[in-house]
Structure 1
């Protein structure tokens, strides 16, 4: 008889020893890229799972894309800290998480007193297969 996969259990939260932070579903994180020359990836944690012994922790994430990672690339109206919530889901080792971050709505981002390295904003959802955005247009601020 073939040996089945070890049962996995969903965790409410998990403490990352390397950064001494606790993560839970809904948190946004910065993840280590395969190539060190690239910026960290931004993702939202959808679910955290551990194997039966608790030693192998995986995070189910929904990726945010930076404008330069999207079809069409960075445009003049994209902010330097803008990311797009994509329809791209993945499973990664929790060990690849390097920091927690915050992805704000555009409105709350504009009200920040100071923008930190771990602050981003999102005003679009992005379809990674077609390159389509939702909404497909955005109102520009009149100064």
Structure 2
């Protein structure tokens, strides 16, 4: 079963072209509710990972990392949805704010979990799994 988390697109102070994708883990406020902070878990895009973009990475694929951070709630630009790869393939229409993930990513070591992907190729007698 896929759990739906609150995810957000966050801007960068360096005025990066694309927004960061985060999973919001916790929302906190001070006593007056004026200084909202969020605990986030970062998703990485393939071009941000060690090893870079590979042929089998999807254009809307992100990797859930072990990188946690505290950010100002003001950095959230919009809400987005990060689907499992299975639920993403079942979408009738893919919107700009739809992403999917198959891997967890360790940004310190560059390791992925799982570290392998089943690949299906068409052969004259049917399909073959590599």
Please, what TM-score do these two structures have when normalized by structure 2?
Answer: 0.87
Unaligned runs of 5+ in 1: 1-24
2:102 equivalent in structure 1: 123
- What residue is the counterpart of 1:64 in the other structure? 43
Q: Secondary structure at the match of 2:29?
A: strand
Alpha-carbon displacement from aligned partner over 1:25-47 (angstroms, at most 9, x marks no partner): 93011001223243100000110
The yes-or-no answer on 1:105 pairing with 2:84 is yes
Return the alpha-carbon distance in structure 2 between the equivalents of residues 28 and 37 of structure 1.
Answer: 19
Pairs within 5 Å for 1:30-41: 30-41=9-20
Give 1:93's match in structure 2, choosing from 66, 72, 78.
72
Corresponding residue pairs, total: 119
TM-score normalised per structure 1: 0.79
Paired with 1:141 and 1:99, the residues of 2 have a C-alpha distance of 35
Q: Over aligned residues, Cα RMSD in angstroms? A: 1.4
Q: Mark the runs of 5 or more structure 2 residues left unpaired by the alignment.
A: 123-130
Mark the CA change 1:55 to 1:46 in structure 2 (over 3 Å): closer, same or farther.
Answer: same
Taking the TM superposition and a 5 Å limit, the aligned residue runs for 1:74-85 are 74-85=53-64
1:135 aligned onto 2:119: no
